Structure 1
Amino acid sequence: MSIDLTGGLDASRDHVFAKRPDEPEMRDAVNMWVSDDRGELGLPRFAVEALASKWDSHDLSLNIAFPNGRALSARGSGKSHSPIGGDGKPTVLGTGPLEFRCVESFRLWTTSFKGTAAEMTTQDQINGALPGQGPAVDVEFHIEVRMAVPPWIQGQMSATAAAQLKSGVEGNFMGGDRFEQLFRAQGTLRIGSEVHTFNGSGLRIKRQGIRKIEGFWGHCWQSALFPSGRGFGFIAYPPRPDGSASYNEGYIFEGDGALIPARVVHAPWLSKLQARDQDVTVVLESERRRTTIEGETLVSTFAMGRPEMPPDFPVLQQAGARYRWNGEETYGMIERSSRKDKITR
């Protein structure tokens, strides 16, 4: 069966802003997560965030992690790249050493990096080292990503989710018009003199809007693509501080062309700081069935708060995990955050 990878969306929906938005707080953002299909390395989120108020110098972030606890990171900003691609359309989002390029909307993207990253360990980060600290090493990668699943647009799996994003504080956290899409990847990563050539899979996220994260209390976000073509994804927030229910939305993809709406009935909330081998099994419920996807973390990065935010801002884990679904195995992403008083070491 042929899969409509556009999800019925116009090609321009996958483009970036052609010029600086008039609203100073408007953002244009692309980020990706990549997992090697041998479980030997992961890039648990790398991104360009373009904020209208500083349009000539977009922000970038990069995480690279290995199962032995080795981690590399880069944070900062650089000279913004022109958004106009070779075809005259706004298909490029880049800054300094990092670039994302839309080759064919909802089907093919490329990404590249050539710069430096700071080397440390996951335990260093748990101990409080900030991303970007540590000795600098040369890093370069070139990755081609081919979409494998239709885009999941946040707020379109259920009326409840749509209402929460429209009228609740959860919409501020999500940051506007946002969708994500699972893909297959192939690329080459160079760190110093070592070279890693890999095939794998991952997740692409595209977001345009105004994002406000003050008061954020935590979340759990998981997604993976399996060799058979099946996949899943969800984002859920714990109950609000007053105990009321919060945003909880996801999907199951069984390879037959349609995203099946689902919600989480068991999420592995972040409660302990651990570099790897932590149980992150998730249970999703749809109209068809209840689905259990077993998982354990394999590569991790941590940020123990953000210097520009209040002291109680959540601890953030961006990681890669090994997942199993009815005996089939793959590697995928997980991002979790919790307030410090909810976490034990």
Structure 2
Amino acid sequence: MSASLAPPQGLEPEREFPAQSYPDNIPLWTENYCFVAYDPSSQVGLWTHLGRAPFDSTLWRELSIVYLPDGERLVNKGYGRGQTPRGPGGATMAFQCVEPFRQWRMSRDGGSIRTTVGQLYHGMVTDQRHERVGFDVTLDCFGGVWDWGEVEDAHKWGKLHYEQLVGVKGTISIGGQSIPFDGQGLRDHTSGARDFTTFASHIWSWANFPSGRGFILLHLVVNGQYLTRAVVQENGTLTAVDLRNSPVLTDRSQHADPYVLELGEHRINAEILHPFPNGFDGPNDICIGYDPSVTATANFENLSRFEWDGEVGYGHTERSIKIG
């Protein structure tokens, strides 16, 4: 990756760190950090999330997914108070800001459950045998910082909301075996009111390309209307573009189908490589797996391959659909 780092506009370095106060006058207020990465050479991926628990803002809910190339997934969900002045932390996982908007560290050492895409598609993970899973990776930021919080506040996705493309290097440990990791990803930081029940469907998609190009987009369907924001990145600079189509799910079974993004004058083809079915419970809880009696909204965290003007890049496709 050769793109230079554009300095953030209107974001102080302190915004990188966890909030020091918890507003009790904002219903459904929460704070979330989400880091996602994929190494195409090993076909191993990471999806990690540290968010304040819906029932206690001082408690961090941790979620981690390790995607294995054979279709198995190593998953965990837990709660803890491992926060430091430089980042959030749960029971077994922590994010640390090394240098604001330039470098982060993500680490974990704990137990995970081994499951499959088929099991997750047809049910939620229940307690069973765990195995030791850890990772220690560094996220080097090479993209501009995309701040879209003022847009998202109106649709309960978060008042503070910014994202940045990153390179990710380190190791993943599974049962004592160390796997080198060298890939690309994205990091996300959000705080404010969050309510997943306000939209009927959505897509959040992004990718990195070897030339330094990239894109990020969010597209929500709310009461039959579209809320869309998208940017493309070239030479470290982010440029707003229109999404000219609406590649959301109309049926849960479509989640692994290929799709197309029409971003301004750009046409990007997307292929799902490694799916992960899950669901949203209530306003802002995330469940591992899907059960229609609990998760009224079906969601998918799918690692993806993208082709843009003949260049291949990798990233992520998150799509949801409200059931019933």
Output the TM-score relative to the length of structure 2: 0.87
Paired residue total:
312
Shift of 1:83: 2.5
Q: Match for 1:18 among 11, 20, 30?
A: 20
Alignment match, 2:199: 216
1:48-127 aligned within 5 A: 48-51=50-53, 54-78=56-80, 80-84=81-85, 91-127=86-122
Alignment match, 1:149: 143
1:227-260 deviations in whole A, cap 9, x for unaligned?
Answer: 111100100013x33x3x22111001112x4211
Alignment match, 1:302: 277
Distance 1:275 1:38 in 2: 24
- Mapped pair 1:204 → 2:187: yes
Alignment match, 1:159: none
Q: 8 Å contact 2:196–2:280 — kept in the other structure?
A: no
1:250-288 deviations in whole A, cap 9, x for unaligned?
Answer: 001112x42111121124322343685x30321111xxx
Shift of 1:134: 4.5
Distance 1:283 1:111 in 2: 33
SS of equivalent residue, structure 2 residue 197:
coil
Alignment match, 1:88: none
SS of equivalent residue, structure 1 residue 13:
helix
1:158-307 aligned within 5 A: 162=151, 165-167=152-154, 170=155, 172=156, 174-238=157-221, 240-241=222-223, 243=224, 245-255=225-235, 257-270=236-249, 271-273=251-253, 278-285=257-264, 290-304=265-279, 306=281
Distance 2:319 2:149 in 1: 20
Identity of matched residues, %: 25
Shift of 1:291: 0.6
SS of equivalent residue, structure 1 residue 96:
coil
Distance 2:101 2:239 in 1: 19
SS of equivalent residue, structure 1 residue 106:
coil
Shift of 1:27: 2.0
SS of equivalent residue, structure 1 residue 246:
strand
The answer for unaligned runs of 5 or more in structure 1 is 85-90, 157-161
Q: 8 Å contact 2:149–2:161 — kept in the other structure?
A: no
RMSD: 2.5
Q: Match for 1:42 among 22, 38, 45?
A: 45
The answer for unaligned runs of 5 or more in structure 2 is 286-291
Shift of 1:102: 0.5
Shift of 1:50: 2.1
**Higher strand residue share:** 2
Alignment match, 1:28: 31
SS of equivalent residue, structure 2 residue 88:
strand
Shift of 1:329: 1.2
Distance 1:53 1:71, change over 3 A: closer
Shift of 1:103: 0.7
